[in-house]
Amino acid sequence: MTEQFDVIICGAGPAGTTCALALGNTGLKVALVDKNNFPRDKVCGDAIAAYVPKVLNTINPAYAKALESFTAKEKVNTIRVVSPNEKTLDISYGEDGFISMRLEFDNFLLELVKQLPNVKLLLNTSVKDIVIDDKGVEVYLDSSLKLQAQLIIGCDGEQGLVRKKLTHTQLDPKHHAAAVRAYFKNVKNIPKATFELHFLKDVIPGYFWIFPLPDNRVNIGLGLLTKTVSERKLNLRNEMLRIIETVPYLKERFEGAEMISDIKGYGLPLGSRKVSISGNRFMLCGDAASLIDPLTGEGIGQAMVSGRYAGWQAKKCFEQNNFSATFMKHYDKTVYNKLWKEHRRSYLIRELLINKPKLFNLSVNLISNNKFLYNLTKKVFN
C-alpha cells in the first residue's frame, strides 16, 4: 500500500514535533513517523533552555501559552558551577529555564501536533529505507505501508537512518560525547531553582550533574567526550556510582537517597564542527544534524530551533517548487547563523578553560571574589 504526502518527518522528538508545528495549517500534507509509542522516555538531563518558549511563540503564541500552563516542570534560573577544587560559583541568569522529564515534555509537544488537521501521526512505526530520485522521496516502513512525498526531514536523533542513508557524515569521537542518566529522590541540600554542574578533577572537561525535578526528585548524570571515554576505558555507569559513593561532599548528599530508575546511557553528537545538514529533497534537524552544545550538552533547544527552520524552509520549497540541494542550502545557512557562534564559544571555553584544572580553579576563585568579573560572566551566560 502506498500513501501520498507532501512532507515526511522521520522522528517525533523535539526536532520532529517542532518541525510539524511549523508546518501546521500550511495546507501541506505531512506525515510524522516515530518508531516509538508516546509518551516515551529519552535519555537526557531534561534541562530545557530559557529560550524554548520563544521558539514556540514564533510559530504560534498559543503554543508558548500552553507551555506556560504545562505543570510537569521545575523552574531553574541559576547555574551552579563546582570547580575541580570544589569551589562553588552560582550564576543567576535573567530568564527562567526549566527541568522536565522528556517522557512528559516530548509528549506535551506531540499533543500540540495532534491538534493539526494536516499532520498524520504514524507512531510505533519505523522508517526502514529511503529512496530519493528526480520525482520525489519513497519511504519504506516496517509495516506493509510505503510513503511517497516531495521532501523528507530527518529528525530521528543521534543514530538516525536519514543521515546514514542520505549523507556521508560519520559520527566522530572528537565531536561526540557519551553520557549516563538516572533518577533519584530524596537527595539532600538541593538548592532552589538551580541546576548543578560538578566539574570533578578526574572527569573534566566532562561533568557530573544534578538537576531538580518536581516532587523532590532529581535527574543526575555524567557526561564526557567519547574520545576520553575510550582512551581511559571508562565505564560511565560505574564511574557515576563511584562519584556518588566516594566523593565526600556528594556522598553526604546521597546518603538515604533512593535511585528510582535504571542508569541509562546514550550518545550526544556535538555541534563543534560544521557538517552538511541538507541535500536534494532532504534536511536534517536536531541530533541527526549534530547540533548539541559542545560544553553544556544541551540539544533540545537546538533541535526545536532547527526543526522550526526546516519547517519554514519546506514551506518555501513548495512555494517555489524547488527541492534542489542548492535551494536547501539556505537551511544550513540559517541554522549555522543562529547556532554556530555560541557553539564555537562553548568549544573554546571547554578546551581553553575547563580542560585546564589549575586555570579553571583560579578563574572560579577570581569570578566569585570580583563583582566586575562576576557580572561579565553573567553576561556570557545570558
Ligand X SMILES: Cc1cc2nc3c(=O)[nH]c(=O)nc-3n(C[C@H](O)[C@H](O)[C@H](O)COP(=O)(O)OP(=O)(O)OC[C@H]3O[C@@H](n4cnc5c(N)ncnc54)[C@H](O)[C@@H]3O)c2cc1C
Which residues of this chain interact with ligand X, rule CB under 6 A?
10-16, 33-36, 42-47, 126-127, 155-157, 160-161, 179, 181, 221, 223, 266, 268, 286-288, 292, 297-301, 303
50, exposed or middle or buried, with CB in 10 Å at 0-12, 13-18, 19+? middle
Q: Quick one: 130 or 317, whose CB is closer to ligand X?
A: 130
| Residue that has been written with the C-alpha cell 516532587 in this structure | 215
Angle between helix 300-319 and helix 325-349 axes, rounded to 10 deg? 160
Q: Quick one: 205 or 367, whose CB is closer to ligand X?
A: 205
Local structure of 212: helix, strand or coil: strand
Least spacing, CB of residue 269 vs ligand X, in Å: 8
Q: Quick one: 121 or 364, whose CB is closer to ligand X?
A: 121
Least spacing, CB of residue 98 vs ligand X, in Å: 11
Least spacing, CB of residue 32 vs ligand X, in Å: 9
Q: Quick one: 103 or 362, whose CB is closer to ligand X?
A: 103
Peptide bond into 205 cis (omega under 30): yes
Least spacing, CB of residue 288 vs ligand X, in Å: 6
Bridge-based pairing state of the strands 127-133 and 258-259: unpaired
| Residue 5 CB neighbour total at 10 angstroms | 24
Q: Quick one: 130 or 367, whose CB is closer to ligand X?
A: 130
Q: Quick one: 70 or 374, whose CB is closer to ligand X?
A: 70
Least spacing, CB of residue 261 vs ligand X, in Å: 12
Least spacing, CB of residue 122 vs ligand X, in Å: 8
CA neighbours within 13 Å on the CB side: how many for 73?
24
Q: Which residues in the chain belong to E strands, given as ranges?
A: 2-4, 7-10, 30-33, 47-48, 74-82, 88-99, 119-122, 127-133, 136-141, 146-149, 151-154, 176-185, 194-198, 207-213, 217-225, 258-259, 264-269, 278-279, 282-284
Distance CA(13)–CA(243), nearest Å, equals 31
Where on the phi/psi map is residue 136: left (φ > 0), alpha (ψ -120 to 50), or beta? left
Q: Quick one: 30 or 33, whose CB is closer to ligand X?
A: 33
Least spacing, CB of residue 237 vs ligand X, in Å: 12
